[in-house]
Amino acid sequence: MPAFTDLPLTINLLLFAVAALVVMFAGARLSGYADAISSATGLGHAAVGLLLLAGVTSLPEIGVTVTATLGGNAGLALNNLFGSIAMQVALLAVVDFALGRRALTAIVPDPTVMLEGSLNVLLLAIVASGMVVGDILFLGAGLWSWSCLFGYVACVYILSREKGRKPWLAASRGKPDRELMEETERTEAGGDGKRNFRSLLLKTASAAAAILVAGFVVARTGEAIAEQSGLGTSFVGFVLVAISTSLPEASTALSAARHGYFTMAISDILGTNLINVGLVFLVDILSSAGPVLGEADTFATFGTLLAIVLTALFLAGLAERRDKSVLRMGYDSISVILVYAVGLVILFTLR
């Protein structure tokens, strides 16, 4: 395993940036593959976003989780997971800004995204509870970590049964816009189902492999940067590493939204966040320091609460469906950006 701490800080920063770019460009290819797979298999965009995109774009988080935990740095692994959740909700505001014309939460026709967001809040509440009250070791992991695992499995089961629900009407200035709804449904149902399925799977696997290898480099250089810069592993894990491991979600969500696959874009983000909570169990199993949630500090607890608040703000936007924009973003997106920025300032003081 490379001893990145033996390299100069500038070299580690360069390696970190290169690995992050690999993650970003590999992730950019995934939304096109996912749309073609959706057409070829008959799965909806919500299901493909949850099961395929979220799984593949979570590979950096998995790589960081395994590498950091086995290296005796469970704190970095946990803060990366919750930092990624907060960052990825903020990414939805970036997607909203990129669209510009209409508020993102007003034009998503599939109600499954609200269910996904609600399940995110529930699982994050389980994590926060474990951090506050402590944890008890049971069969190699804490009881709260087992709850995270079973909660994630239950979420996948619930969401897998959601295909075919009656869609919402898209909104225009707070009123149903049937013309926009028909246009969105046509786009969401689009795609080329004639592409060779085996070729699609091979291309998807290649992109996944590139993301996994680059995620390993991001994890190791992130740890080295934390040590060499003096910022600390908590803040670096929550911000720097989380940003880099969120690049696949950023590229796939932006690409999907630009092609009109709004449900897929949001399901990728929220599905990845569900996986991140499930990965708490993996950290606990691999860690030799006892139940990790019971050992979490104030920094990790506040980071989890920040992720809950950001997800709740986005859910509020989905429920209200106000189609008004300021600075090319909906009110909910602006609120998410402001709260995230304030949260980072508070976390910097807690590091």
Residue 141 has pLDDT above 80, yes or no: yes
Spatial contact of 31 and 248, defined as CB atoms under 8 Å apart: no
Query: For residue 3, what pLDDT is reported?
Result: 75
CA gap 1, 176 in Å, rounded: 57
Give CA–CA dist 109/45, Å, rounded. 11
Q: What's residue 31's pLDDT?
A: 58
State the pLDDT at residue 204.
76
Residue 134 has a pLDDT of: 85
pTM for this prediction: 0.76
Cα angle 90, 96, 97 (rounded to 5 degrees) comes to 95
Q: With bands split at pLDDT 50, 70 and 90, how would you rate the model's confidence at 149?
A: very high
d(CA 349, CA 29): 38
Q: What pLDDT sits at residue 111?
A: 75
pLDDT at 154: 92
CATH number, domain containing residue 272 = 1.20.1420.30
Average pLDDT over the chain, rounded to an integer: 76
Residues in the chain: 351
* Residue spans of beta strands (DSSP E) within the chain: 137-138, 141-142, 171-172, 175-176, 325-326, 329-330
- With vertex at residue 88, the alpha carbon angle to CA 84 and CA 91, rounded to the nearest 5 degrees, is 145
| Total of domains in the chain | 1
- Quote the strand ranges of 129-282, DSSP E: 137-138, 141-142, 171-172, 175-176
314-332: burial string, b at 16+ Cβ within 10 Å, e else: bbebbebbbbebeeebbbb
* Cβ(57)–Cβ(252) below 8 Å: yes
Q: List, for residues 325-341, the tens digit of each pLDDT value.
A: 677 777 888 899 999 99
Average pLDDT over residues 109-114: 75
188 Cβ contact list (under 8 Å, min separation 6): 45, 109, 110, 260, 261, 262, 263, 264
Residue-number span of the structural domain to which 173 is assigned: 4-350
Asked if the model's pLDDT at residue 278 lies above 60, the reply is yes
CA dist., res. 135 & res. 122, Å (int): 18
CA dihedral 75, 124, 95, 211 (to 10 degrees): 40
